[in-house]
Structure 1
Amino acid sequence: MNAKNDEPEYLTLAQASKFLQVSQPTLRNWDRNGTLKAFRLGTRKAMRYKKADLIKFIEKSN
């Protein structure tokens, strides 16, 4: 967990989707085309997004 707030440093696909207010398929597409890359964890290759990267993405988009 991040000491500054209750949100974890790395967000799941669902959490990142809610944070950015976009659909999960949109995030998957952005990962595929390189717009916003996700980290892959474990054998299932679960998608995780670094919260700092999401904030930078929002700032860059504005």
Structure 2
Amino acid sequence: MPRLDEYLTITEAADYLGVCTNTLRNWGASGKIKERRNPINSYRLYARDDLDAVLQQINDSGEYPSGWSKPRKRKPR
């Protein structure tokens, strides 16, 4: 069983990638990023390695992976 502290919540993952939480939900629903679920409360969890892979693709190509819509910038609250 993987340790839960190796994963980020949806809010933490969104901040890590610089996108909105709804963007992550959409990417997960379409299979563009792997979502895991907390076994206790079924909240979405994201492995840091998966998020790093997305960031690496962005850094290598200068744009979001093929077929991914570029997220709009988050408005400050």
Question: What's the TM-score once normalised by structure 2's chain length?
Answer: 0.64
Q: Which residue of 1 aligns with 2:22?
A: 25
- Which of 16, 31, 35 is the equivalent residue of 2:32? 35
| Paired residues for 1:1-62 under 5 Å | 8-62=5-59
* Structure richer in strand, relative to its length: 1
In structure 1, distance between residues paired with 2:18 and 2:52: 13
> Which runs of structure 1 show a deviation greater than 2 angstroms over 4 or more consecutive aligned residues?
none
Tell which structure's C-alpha radius of gyration is larger: 2
Unaligned 5+ segments in structure 1 are: 1-7
Q: For 1:40 and 1:32, how far apart are their aligned partners in 2? A: 13
Deviation at residue 57 of structure 1 after TM alignment: 1.0
Percent identical among aligned pairs is 35
Distance 1:29 1:43 in 2: 23
RMSD over aligned CA atoms reads 1.3
Aligned pair count reads 55
Unmatched tracts of structure 2, length 5 or more:
60-77
TM-score by length of 1: 0.78
